[in-house]
Amino acid sequence: MKKSASHVLFFLPILLLPVLLHAQEYSNENLVQFSGITVTFDSLTSVPYARITIRNTNRGTTSDALGYFSFVAHKKDTILFHALGYKPASFIIPDTITKSRYSLIQLMTGDTLTLPAAIIFPWPTLEDFKRAFVNFKVPDDDLERARKNLDGDQIMVSAKNYPMDARMNYNSYIENQTSKLYYFGQQQPFTIFDPFAWARFIKAWRDGEFKRKKEKSTNNE
C-alpha cells in the first residue's frame, strides 16, 4: 500500500505538468485587450458586423456598425476575421508586446461571389405556361392606339358617356379665344386632330344637318 502511494506521488507532478504549463501560458500576464477596426483594403471604409473569433475556440466578438471591435485574448492567439463579401483574414497576436493592450487595423479584401443563374417562372407547371401563352393578349402598339382614338364610333361613345357641360363649354370657349389672340396676325394651326371637333362633325353628319343645309340652300335658289 505504501509502495502504491509512493508511485502515485512520483507520477503526480508529471501528470500535472501540462496543466501547469497551460495555466502558466494563459496566466494574467498573457492577457491582452485586443481592439481594432475592420476596413476595406482599397478605400479604407469601415466593414461593419464582421465576425471575429479566436481559432479553435468559441470566444470572439462582432464589429459594430463602424467596424470597431474589442475583446480579451491571449498572446500568440490566432484571430480570424470573416465578413460577407470579403475574403477571410487572420492575425496572430505577437508574444513580444509588453503592454496589456494591443490595437490593430485589419484590412479586408473584397471577394467576388459568382452564383449560378436562377431562372424564375411565374407558372408552376408546363401546362399552365401553355395555357397562359395561348391566352396571352398582345398589347396595342402606338399605331393601333391612334387608330382606336380616331375611330368614329368610339368618339361618339365617348361623347355620349361624357357630354359637354357648362364648365367644359366655358373652358372650350376660353381656349378658342385665347388661341385666336395668341395667333393674331398669323395663320392659326389646323384642329384636324381635335377629338371634340371630330365628335361634333360625326354627330352633325349622322343627324343629317349637312343634308338639311343643302336642301335649304337649294330651295332658296
74-87 residue pLDDT tens? 999 999 999 988 99
Please count the other Cβ atoms lying within 10 Å of the Cβ belonging to residue 69: 22
What's 30's DSSP letter? G
Across the chain, what does the average pLDDT equal? 79
Per-residue pLDDT at 191: 66
Q: Cα(34)–Cα(76) distance, rounded to whole angstroms?
A: 12
CATH architecture of 2-108: Sandwich (2.60)
Buried b (16+ CB within 10 A) or exposed e, 105-118: ebebeeeeeeeeee
Lowest mean per-residue pLDDT among 6-20, 170-184, 188-202, 206-220: 6-20
| Structure-model confidence comparison of residues 38 and 118, the more confident one | 38
> Using one digit for the tens of pLDDT, what is the confidence trace for 99-153?
889 999 999 999 887 888 888 888 888 898 888 888 888 888 888 888 887 887 7
**Residue ranges matching CATH 2.60.40.1120 in the chain:** 2-108
Contacts of 69 (CB under 8 A, 6+ apart): 35, 36, 37, 38, 50, 52, 61, 62, 63
Per-residue pLDDT at 200: 77
Q: Which three cell numbers mark 150?
A: 380616331
